[in-house]
Amino acid sequence: MLIYLRVLKESFNFAINALKNNKLRTFLSLLGVTIGIFSIIGVLAAVDSLEREIKGSLSALDNSTIIVMRFSFGPTEVPQWKRRQFPNVSYDEYQFLKRNLPNTESVSFTIGVPDESIKHQDVTSTGVGVGAVTHEYYDIEALELEEGRFFNESESVSGSPVIVLGHEIANNLFGNFNPLGKEVRMYGRKFTVIGVLAKQGASLFGGSRDGQVFLPVNIARRVYGDNNMGVFPQLILKPEDDVDNAEYIAVLEQQLRNYRGIKPGDINNFFVNQLQGFADFIDNITGQLNLIGLIISGFSLLVGGFGIANIMFVSVKERTNLIGIQKSLGAKNKFILFQFLFEAIILAVIGGLVGLGLVWLVSLAASQFTGDFEFVLSPWNMFIGTAVSAVIGLISGIIPAVSASKLDPVEAIRTGM
């Protein structure tokens, strides 16, 4: 065992010396692998960052959450003219499901309404997103408060004139002053500020909660009415843990069909949208992006591998005489083989580490220029980069190394003279 370790050590030292003595050749070899690893890890990091940002921007909602409305998240076989006839979900249906739907942790009724202006004294914020929701929404979407509280069930049911401000709205209207207990005006009415949401940051798709306000849904019902097709009511349901999703949806659909009096054989006049299905769709898209990126980056690695193989053949040619002398002095084939293999692997790994360093620098710079979008270089991607570069070095160096180890010592000395 000690003999093998000594052979490995001597082979490693020999490879390092060979690389030091041929700096230009080493640099050119490193360049090819560096570009390849930079490409492949850059693509993986970009796709991972994009996937994380997409999932973070969609919502804090749990994947088990179900949204019922007259629109579908995805493709549907129901023709458009038919969908236009579907009624909106209603507050009464929210109350019915809350009382009668089993295995449900929470149900919230929300209304998507147009952006509005909000005013405090002489300061006005325009284009403010309005979340008209019932009190359960706070727990379902796991909202975080910087200060104050969310409205409770009593305030939700009675439609009390209370409001929770997004971080940006609070800063615009009140600056460094505490907004709690202060009054703002919206819809020609006065609202008392009872809470401020924690800062979320920019969202990939826009619509950050920082630029939103939340108020009891029954206020929006008074403003817009229950039969306004210009707003978008929806029911948000969160099943209890460990509930069979398909069975739960079947019960939900039957309950709602019974409430609406839909006859057997008629299609549902509502859509049950699952966030899990949308999350799977996002995973599929990012998986395809990863695959395309890997294929493109693979060509760069292929070029780098050919570069290492070519330079290793040249190295074998130049050191033919030295190989003959080593073998005549008793060097085994394994020693010669390891010597050239280590040289190729070291070249590739160093090139890979340089490539990883470049990806890290570019990710830092990109994160600075793109604001809240953060590029992530995960430990798994770093491991992949190092492992791939080592494999590229092994594959690229094995044929030159084998050819070197099989040289006849007499012929090698004669050829090198």
Strands 271-274 and 145-148: unpaired
381 touches 43 (CB < 8 A): no
Reading the block at residue 276, the tokens are 């899990």
Look-up of token digits 């398909």: 246
Cβ-in-10-Å burial (0-12, 13-18, 19+) of 246 comes to exposed
Q: What is the pLDDT of residue 301?
A: 66
Cα 152 from Cα 149, distance rounded (Å)? 9
Q: What is the pLDDT of residue 29?
A: 66
Residue pLDDT, tens place only, 127-162: 899 999 999 999 888 888 999 999 999 999 999 999
Q: What is the pLDDT of residue 139?
A: 87
Q: What is the pLDDT of residue 65?
A: 84
Calculate the alpha carbon distances from 354 to 368, 377, 398 in Å.
21, 14, 23
Q: What is the pLDDT of residue 407?
A: 63
Residue pLDDT, tens place only, 286-308: 677 667 766 766 676 676 677 77
Q: What is the pLDDT of residue 323?
A: 63
- Can you give the pTM of this predicted structure? 0.61
Low-confidence ranges of the chain (pLDDT < 70): 1-19, 22, 25-26, 28-30, 50-63, 201-207, 276-283, 285-286, 289-290, 293-294, 296-298, 300-301, 303-304, 311, 314-335, 339-340, 366-377, 381, 401, 404-417
Q: What is the pLDDT of residue 326?
A: 64
Q: What is the pLDDT of residue 12?
A: 61
For residue 202, give every residue at least 6 positions away whose Cβ sits within 8 Å of its Cβ, in sequence order, or none.
Answer: 208, 371, 372, 373
